[in-house]
Amino acid sequence: MSGRALTGLDERQLEAVRALRGPVAVLAGAGTGKTRVITHRIAHGVDTGAYSPGRVMAVTFTAKAAGEMRGRLRALGVEGVSARTFHAAALAQLNYFWPSLAGDSAPGIVDNKVRLLAHAADGIGLEPDTATLRDVASEIEWRKVSMLSLDAYAAQRPNGVGRLSVDRVADLQRAYEKLKDERRQLDFEDVLLACAGMLEAEPHVARAVHEQYRHFTVDEFQDVSPLQHRLLELWLGDRRDLCVVGDASQTIYSFAGASVRYLLDFASRHPDARVVRLETNYRSDAAILAVANELMRDRPGALHLVAEPRRPSEVDTPVVRAYADEEAEARGVAARISAQIASGIDPRRIAVLYRSHAQSAEFVRALADEGIASTVLGGRRFFDLPEVRQGIMALRAASVAPIESGFVETVRDVLRSLGLTDDPPQAGGALRDAWELRAALLRLAEEAPPGTTLRAFTDELTARARSHDEPALRTVTLATIHAAKGLEWDHVHLVGLAEGLLPIAYATTFEQVDEERRLAYVGITRAARTLSVSWARGARERQPSRFLREIGTRTLREDGASAAHGAATPRGRSSSGRVSPPGGGRAR
């Protein structure tokens, strides 16, 4: 089994996997196999006897990522590792220790912060609109993960929220906390705060946790907040067996309290730390990596990505296209996607990425006009959709009756009774959406292992629903760059690279623009085989994004045919071939 944990790894990955004693920092660039390294390192530790599975905690940021980690560990023969999100781990500890500390069960969790805020606002005579309440909810989250008191928060956010002054925002937050206490509830951030407080105040609890967990791995370490970092310190105690994995260039949640400093300063905080750099990218064509490297050149902590040596370059230089307006951009992108599908490319391997959700509607319409179905990432989960739930219930009901035909044919017959036709309806609209969902259920049945029974199939669907293991619909994906982080497609269309969109208009400070640059980097590195970039001038007479100018034309080719719709010719090129952004260069 030990050999399995060490197979299929490159030299740097092997170095990281063999570094079983902390502190260890794995600086893992996009597409360099970080999840593989994390799971193989844990498996190698278990195989060699260095780790006991029940004493390993692997922490990540999403339930889906934690589920994937557990699945990969199972495939390596490792069971019993605690692979969870920060919140899931903290909540489990609260639920375990709270009854013995307080003589009662742990408080419930707030299911809708905005609704609770609305009730709190009513109690103090405020009538903010829903958008303001959402912004206040975000402010509460930021304050708590930043570990700030209300007074310290007010000093740092003097402008208030919307039409609410900072004093009224503070009043609303106090009313929210009071109402939450009266209802005996905790919000998402309170779970971390309460767990940290419990570990600090109760030495016997801290001793129990330190005895249980001795080896820690933290994925996406660039996204850790001050509160999460404090909780991690409390979990560790005086132990040093910590492995952190992250990429400074993919820090895109600073607005929510994430701090890349913990990753960048790890080696100085731990002078004896082993630092391993993973820079061989197994996802993207070399031409795409050249664009990403040029964008992040000279940025703090940036890694220089290189394509897998055995992978031949398959495509020409990525292309940038300019359009007269947003509608023309959407039509142009849709036409190119139509041509890609006509050439045999699976729609599931194509994505359109943008900065904000507001940009999606134009592309949904343009794709529908081309007869192409699309799915907007970040909507309701697949297994929560009514058509999917209806389909699973009907299949489960059919599983108790005698089966007269084959398994797949039975699934097809059940779904046909619910409206699945041989040919899809016209793209766009609820009927096509429902067809795509039922077709996805049929495809899952067709991909099931030989000998699968209908009951086993429905049990598997239920298990996937619990673990948020979503199937890919046979549609083109539309997503914000934030939602696309951690995902990949063969063909990516990165749209809206204009000033005011990417970087977004409200990014005015150096730090805010730098975060927007990292967003663009994440968007670029989602692409495996082809990358198409576009922007539109529109009624606001937008200019091309400064990031296009920083990248320059050595790695990003301008499409002459689209230039007639609003030229995106970079200006300010230096003799080195670099392009300077509006208002000066990249440095402070």
In this structure, the answer to whether residues 361 and 491 fall within a common structural domain is yes
Band the pLDDT of 586: cuts 50, 70, 90. Answer: very low
| pLDDT value, residue 467 | 66
Q: Is 32 annotated as a binding residue?
A: yes
β 527-536/489-494 pair status: parallel
* Class of residue 108 by CB neighbours under 10 A (exposed 0-12, middle 13-18, buried 19+): exposed
Contact call for residues 90 and 73 (beta carbons, < 8 A): no
In this structure, the answer to whether residues 209 and 169 fall within a common structural domain is no
Contact call for residues 270 and 235 (beta carbons, < 8 A): no
- Contact residues for 154 (Cβ-Cβ < 8 A; gap 6+): 166, 167, 169, 170
In this structure, the answer to whether residues 302 and 337 fall within a common structural domain is yes
In this structure, the answer to whether residues 407 and 426 fall within a common structural domain is yes
Angle at 564 between CA 562 and CA 569, to 5 degrees: 75
40-69 b/e with 16+ CB inside 10 Å = b? bbbbbbbbeeebebebbbbbbbeeebbbbb
- Pick left, alpha or beta for residue 202 (phi over 0 → left; psi -120 to 50 → alpha; otherwise beta): beta
Of the candidate ranges 9-23, 184-198, 216-230, 438-452, the one whose mean pLDDT is the lowest: 438-452
| pLDDT value, residue 312 | 61
Q: Which of 437, 466, 495 is the last residue of a domain?
A: 466
What would the mean pLDDT of 319-330 be, rounded to a whole number? 93
Angle at 216 between CA 214 and CA 219, to 5 degrees: 170
| pLDDT value, residue 369 | 86
C-beta contacts of 123-130 below 8 A and 24+ residues apart:
123/175, 123/179, 124/171, 124/172, 124/175, 126/164, 126/168, 126/171, 126/172, 128/162, 128/163, 128/164, 128/172, 129/162
Band the pLDDT of 314: cuts 50, 70, 90. Answer: low
Please check whether residue 326 lies inside any domain of the structure.
yes
Band the pLDDT of 242: cuts 50, 70, 90. Answer: very high
Q: Which of 278, 303, 330 is the last residue of a domain?
A: 278
Band the pLDDT of 430: cuts 50, 70, 90. Answer: low
Please check whether residue 572 lies inside any domain of the structure.
no
Residue % of the chain over a pLDDT of 90: 55
Task: Determine phi and psi for 280, rounding to 5 degrees.
Answer: -85, 115
| Pair of tokens at residue 344 | 């045999």
Please check whether residue 575 lies inside any domain of the structure.
no
Band the pLDDT of 1: cuts 50, 70, 90. Answer: very low
| pLDDT value, residue 313 | 61
Q: Is 462 annotated as a binding residue?
A: no
Contact call for residues 172 and 178 (beta carbons, < 8 A): no
Residue % of the chain over a pLDDT of 70: 90
Question: When comparing pLDDT for 444 and 243, which is higher?
Answer: 243
- What sections of 245-385 are H helices per DSSP? 261-264, 266-269, 286-296, 326-342, 360-369
Please check whether residue 208 lies inside any domain of the structure.
yes
Angle at 68 between CA 62 and CA 72, to 5 degrees: 150
Q: Which of 238, 258, 278 is the last residue of a domain?
A: 278
| pLDDT value, residue 371 | 86
Each residue of 383-405: pLDDT tens digit? 777 888 888 888 888 887 666 66
Q: Is 530 annotated as a binding residue?
A: no
| pLDDT value, residue 579 | 32
Band the pLDDT of 426: cuts 50, 70, 90. Answer: low
Please check whether residue 585 lies inside any domain of the structure.
no
Each residue of 57-114: pLDDT tens digit? 999 988 888 888 998 998 898 999 999 999 999 999 999 999 988 888 889 999 899 9
Cα–Cα distance between 30 and 321 in angstroms, integer?
25
In this structure, the answer to whether residues 369 and 493 fall within a common structural domain is yes
Residue type, 310: R
Of the candidate ranges 3-7, 263-267, 316-320, the one whose mean pLDDT is the lowest: 3-7
Band the pLDDT of 427: cuts 50, 70, 90. Answer: low
Cα–Cα distance between 521 and 291 in angstroms, integer?
9
| pLDDT value, residue 466 | 74
Please check whether residue 588 lies inside any domain of the structure.
no
Could you count the other beta carbons within 10 Å of the beta carbon of residue 228? Answer: 24
Cα–Cα distance between 261 and 482 in angstroms, integer?
20
Q: Which residue has the tokens 């016209």?
A: 426
Each residue of 98-108: pLDDT tens digit? 998 888 888 99
**SS3 at position 353:** strand
In this structure, the answer to whether residues 210 and 257 fall within a common structural domain is yes
Please check whether residue 582 lies inside any domain of the structure.
no
In this structure, the answer to whether residues 337 and 307 fall within a common structural domain is yes
Cα–Cα distance between 292 and 286 in angstroms, integer?
10
Q: State which residues form the domain around 33.
A: 2-90+192-278
As separate numbers, helices (DSSP H) first and strands (DSSP E) second, the chain gives 25, 17
**Per-chain mean pLDDT for the chain:** 86
Band the pLDDT of 8: cuts 50, 70, 90. Answer: confident
* Class of residue 163 by CB neighbours under 10 A (exposed 0-12, middle 13-18, buried 19+): exposed
Band the pLDDT of 587: cuts 50, 70, 90. Answer: very low
Each residue of 475-523: pLDDT tens digit? 899 999 999 998 999 999 999 999 989 998 888 889 999 999 999 999 9
Q: What is this structure's pTM? A: 0.81
Cα–Cα distance between 537 and 499 in angstroms, integer?
9
Q: Is 31 annotated as a binding residue?
A: yes
Contact call for residues 461 and 440 (beta carbons, < 8 A): no
Q: Which residue has the tokens 């009043």?
A: 171
| pLDDT value, residue 526 | 96
Looking at the predicted structure, is the pLDDT value of residue 569 above 80?
Answer: no
What would the mean pLDDT of 302-331 be, rounded to a whole number? 85
| Pair of tokens at residue 22 | 């902390």
Looking at the predicted structure, is the pLDDT value of residue 417 above 60?
Answer: yes
Band the pLDDT of 574: cuts 50, 70, 90. Answer: very low
| pLDDT value, residue 54 | 93
DSSP secondary structure of 22-64 = S-EEEEE-TTS-HHHHHHHHHHHHHHTTS--GGGEEEEES-HH
Cα–Cα distance between 193 and 147 in angstroms, integer?
9
Which of 441, 489, 437, 435 has the alpha carbon at shortest distance from 464?
Answer: 441
- Pick left, alpha or beta for residue 164 (phi over 0 → left; psi -120 to 50 → alpha; otherwise beta): beta
Of the candidate ranges 397-411, 426-440, 573-587, the one whose mean pLDDT is the lowest: 573-587
Cα–Cα distance between 333 and 331 in angstroms, integer?
6
What would the mean pLDDT of 313-335 be, rounded to a whole number? 87
In this structure, the answer to whether residues 258 and 293 fall within a common structural domain is no
What letter would DSSP give residue 105?
A: P
What would the mean pLDDT of 216-225 be, rounded to a whole number? 94
Looking at the predicted structure, is the pLDDT value of residue 429 above 80?
Answer: no
Please check whether residue 578 lies inside any domain of the structure.
no
Band the pLDDT of 564: cuts 50, 70, 90. Answer: very low
In this structure, the answer to whether residues 292 and 271 fall within a common structural domain is no
Cα–Cα distance between 274 and 277 in angstroms, integer?
10
Cα–Cα distance between 578 and 551 in angstroms, integer?
7
Q: Is 577 annotated as a binding residue?
A: no
In this structure, the answer to whether residues 308 and 370 fall within a common structural domain is yes
In this structure, the answer to whether residues 61 and 75 fall within a common structural domain is yes
| pLDDT value, residue 317 | 81
Contact call for residues 462 and 362 (beta carbons, < 8 A): no
What Cα–Cα distance (Å) separates residue 87 from each residue in 34, 66, 228, 319?
A: 22, 12, 9, 41
Q: Which residues pair with 85 in a beta bridge?
A: 60
What would the mean pLDDT of 543-567 be, rounded to a whole number? 74
Question: When comparing pLDDT for 463 and 335, which is higher?
Answer: 335
Q: Which residue has the tokens 């079983």?
A: 20
Q: Is 344 annotated as a binding residue?
A: no
In this structure, the answer to whether residues 517 and 390 fall within a common structural domain is no
| pLDDT value, residue 558 | 83
Residue type, 200: E
Domains: count for the chain: 4
CATH number for the domain harbouring residue 254? 3.40.50.300
